[in-house]
Amino acid sequence: MTTPAVRHPRVSLVGSPNAGKTTLFNALTGLRAKTANYPGVTVTRRIGEVRVEGRTVQLEDLPGTYSLEPASPDEQVVVDSLVGADGPDARPDGLIIVADVTTLRRSLILIAQALALGLPSVLAVTMIDEFDRLGGSVDLQRLSAALGVEVVGVVPTKGRGLETVRGLLAAPGDWPVPVLPPPSEPAEMAAWIDSVLTDVVHVPSRRSPWTERVDRVLLHPVIGTLIFAVVMVTFFQIIFAWAAPLSDAIDSFFVWLGGTVGGLIGWEPLARFVADGLIAGVGAVLVFLPQILLLFVMLSFLENVGYMARAAILMDRLMGVFGLEGRSFVALLSSYACAIPGIMATRSIPASRQRLATILISPLMTCSARLPVYTLFIAAFVPNVVVIGPLRLQGLVMLGLYLLGAVTAMIVSTILTRAALSGTRLPFFMELPPYRLPGVKHVLTQTWDSARHFVRKAGTIILATTAVLWVLLNVPAVEVPPSVPANQVASYQMENSIAGTLGRAMEPVFSPLGFDWEINVALLSSFAAREVFVSTLGQISAAEGDDDQSISAALQSQTWPDGSPVYTPGTVAAILLFFVFALQCMSTIAVMRRETNSWRWPLVAFVYLSLLAYSAAWIGNRVVTAIVGG
């Protein structure tokens, strides 16, 4: 006889964007769901568990919504969950309604709609400390009496109110349901909100004059745009200037580690597999961890301080020119870390035309997986010379690659929204959060959580692909003719291996771009993950070069049989341009299929981006060669 599974009570967190739901969720469950000081971060349901008084309660973090009248896919997720669209048993056992006290008037609309569902409810009021600091005063006991439910003031980042909420979670079935639900008619709702606020808010908080002065500058159409440009330029100058010394140290460490470990292994084939395959391949990617960490530190700081919400408002004007809106900017911004959360973030876009267009251009945003490729080739082949003032050429080239992807995305979006896709543009609304100085621990935790994905990828997908590629580069074992010089034996073996044969078979297609068989093999492997391009070149270089030679030095010394360099300025330009546009991520394609519920659009994205990548690489090779020379 099968014992039936125990059903744990489920409590849903519902609230408007940026109200503090996910911060409360993390504090109660101990999980690390992403939070930021701008809307649109939570785009799907998250489930965590809370142990209280010997029992388990499931806590569900729902996407932020301003009302229970859905206008976008993420808001529909909220409504479906609360009304039990999958059946009566799918409804939560209780609600924790999360409301920012600094925006209580607007929040009362959602509170009224949530209470009208007739579920046992608790109201968690956030930003209490900030409200007090701005001179506000609210009577939570009177608010509780007016609403007919328990009201708790919480500051999750400081632990305030958490124990009270934990205690309440022990018995969500005992939470009250309002005897008289709030009115639903708009006219009656407005009078009800006024009466509640009159009764509970003694001194309304004032908007910080400092915030207003800063916003007048940052949201100015001209000055704000210039400041945004300066922020982005500084962003990429820092990535090179600060990360380079640490990257060099990591590179030296892996070169030493490969030589040391290889020398300790007596059996030569195994020694080469470990040293030239695993260590050189994975090490070639982990060398760029400092750049990844810096990227996420700066993004996390700008998000949490409140600047990115202002950038979204500022960019809404520009987005409108290309048929998009401010919510598209938020989704595209997320794609700079990874296209997958960026595509998922499009659920907050209510208009189907803008949502689909944003999905199709998200891969053009330069994700962190491209950063190792960009950094390797820019550091190895672009002189680190001063252009003007503190601006150096390497940082400007990196910025140019990012801008090229973004500008191309806007052009493609214009074509899609005006010619290929049908639909209407709906109004864009986003509430500006207050400026908050994020805690160092919070920024570092978010940074490591994001970078951990990069490290885990290096230890799983990249490691596995590197191992397979090493085998393909060394099988079958070939007899090397006596005429081949000793320093070219390894290259001869790899060129005539399974992988080398594939690379040479690709030469008719890619030789116009200046690619040799080694680049072709690395390019083919990059469709498993973009970073594998670097790891493949790393293990080929380790096998062909000196034990103490870095991958950059190995690439710089690579030559054709006639002695001319493989990596000419034209070839380097072609590689960089190919990676700006190519869709080399199977996970992204899978998420596209899930979000569009069709294979049509992922196929469209793959084809148009592949054609764009090849065309741009061909043109770039020709133009740079004409300007700089062979």
Q: What is the pLDDT of residue 11?
A: 93
Query: What pTM was computed for the model?
Result: 0.75
pLDDT-wise least confident of 363-377, 486-500, 560-574: 486-500
Residues in contact with 406: Cβ distance below 8 Å, sequence separation at least 6, in sequence order: 332, 364, 365, 366
In a domain, 402, yes or no: no
Q: Per residue in 19-54, pLDDT tens?
A: 888 889 988 988 765 555 445 555 567 888 898 888
**Higher pLDDT pick, 284 / 60:** 60
The C-alpha atoms of residue 241 and residue 259 are separated, in whole angstroms, by 29
Q: What is the pLDDT of residue 210?
A: 79
Measure Cα distances from 564 to 128, 379, 551, 559, 630 in Å.
68, 21, 19, 5, 9
pLDDT band at 428; cut points 50, 70, 90 = low
Which residue type, as a one-letter code, is found at position 618? W
Q: What is the pLDDT of residue 38?
A: 46
**Higher pLDDT pick, 202 / 292:** 292
Taking alpha carbons only, the member of 8, 5, 21, 6 closest to residue 57 is: 8
Rounded to 5 degrees, φ, ψ at 44 are -150, 170
In a domain, 112, yes or no: yes
pLDDT band at 420; cut points 50, 70, 90 = low
**Higher pLDDT pick, 326 / 473:** 473
Mean pLDDT of 561-577: 93
In a domain, 182, yes or no: yes
Q: What is the pLDDT of residue 229?
A: 84
pLDDT surpasses 80 at 388: yes
Which residue type, as a one-letter code, is found at position 356? L
**Higher pLDDT pick, 439 / 584:** 584
The C-alpha atoms of residue 589 and residue 582 are separated, in whole angstroms, by 12
In a domain, 597, yes or no: no
H/E element holding 314?
helix 307-321
pLDDT surpasses 80 at 164: yes
pLDDT band at 119; cut points 50, 70, 90 = very high
Choose the most confident range, by mean pLDDT, from 165-169, 276-280, 316-320, 538-542: 165-169
In a domain, 519, yes or no: no
In a domain, 17, yes or no: yes
In a domain, 100, yes or no: yes
Q: What is the pLDDT of residue 408?
A: 95
Mean pLDDT of 296-302: 81
In a domain, 508, yes or no: no
Q: What is the mean pLDDT of the chain?
A: 84
Mean pLDDT of 184-212: 79
pLDDT band at 454; cut points 50, 70, 90 = confident
Could you give the percent of the chain with pLDDT greater than 70?
Answer: 93
Mean pLDDT of 358-380: 91
Count of the separate structural domains present in the chain: 1
Residues in contact with 322: Cβ distance below 8 Å, sequence separation at least 6, in sequence order: 410, 411, 413, 414, 417
For residue 198, give the CATH number of its domain: 3.40.50.300
Which residue type, as a one-letter code, is found at position 533? F
pLDDT band at 17; cut points 50, 70, 90 = confident
**Higher pLDDT pick, 388 / 615:** 615
The range of the structural domain enclosing residue 122 comes to: 10-206
The C-alpha atoms of residue 627 and residue 630 are separated, in whole angstroms, by 9
**Higher pLDDT pick, 371 / 576:** 576
**Higher pLDDT pick, 609 / 66:** 609
pLDDT-wise least confident of 140-149, 217-226, 330-339, 425-434: 425-434
pLDDT band at 607; cut points 50, 70, 90 = very high
